[in-house]
Amino acid sequence: MKSRPPSHARHLLVVDDDDRIRELLKTFLTRSGFRVTAASGAEPARRLIDALDFDLAVLDVMMPGEDGLSLVAWLRSRPGRPGRLPVLMLTARNEPGDRIEGLRRGADDYLAKPFEPEELVLRVEAILRRAAEEPANGGSGLSLGPCVFDPGRGELVRDGRPIRLTEAEVSLLRRLARSPHEPVERRDLIQADVDPSGRAIDIQVTRLRRKIETDPRSPRYLQTVRGIGYLLAPD
């Protein structure tokens, strides 16, 4: 049976091959009230994920052997709680394409090195807040063609089979589900302290359309409202 952290201490997994950075991350986050377990690479991280329950993972992109992008893709392929584990990716790269690739693989947010410890903590807390959000419209299911989304459970089913969602995707669907058939402004969807550019929202929408729509290039249920934002149009 998996060990569980005390209810008051959210359990974070930190994965970085650099000993100094890994210890600094552990120190910053522990001082902020988190319970932290660290791993030096993807292989020990996999073993920890199989043995323990975590509330969020902080993954370095650049690691020898298996990198963070591959590890987050593996996470998203896992059933149950591990498959929905929120992920914050750390990257020393400056190219936007690397950060976008992380989001496409299923990361919830990214943070470029070097970073301020306070920003790291704020981003972690913002992701955890989104993961803990309760929907305003209860637990009734919304019909989206072959799919049904249950906001209360944060679950998406397609043709009777569960579809894996990241916590960021659940949060986005829940927000849109609060006002179906009504456009939601981009500024209301963007978490300003996490992604002021809004690029992460666009990537999450693209990922969700692949899971929901029959033809993602011509969306029926998750629509773009030009100049405003997005709307969810259940049956």
Query: pLDDT of 106-137, one tens digit each?
Result: 888 888 888 888 999 999 998 888 777 644 44
Q: Which tokens in the block code for residue 99?
A: 């950060």
Answer yes or no: are the C-beta atoms of 11 and 5 closer than 8 Å: yes
Answer yes or no: are the C-beta atoms of 35 and 128 closer than 8 Å: no
Q: What is the pLDDT of residue 231?
A: 92
pTM of the complete model beyond 0.95 = no
Phi, psi of 156, deg, nearest 5:
-120, 130
Among 234, 232, 235, CA closest to 182: 232
Q: Are strands 56-60 and 11-15 parallel, antiparallel or unpaired?
A: parallel
Question: In sequence order, what are the beta bridge partners of 224?
Answer: 230
Question: In sequence order, what are the beta bridge partners of 57?
Answer: 13, 87
Low-confidence ranges of the chain (pLDDT < 50): 1-7, 134-139, 192-194
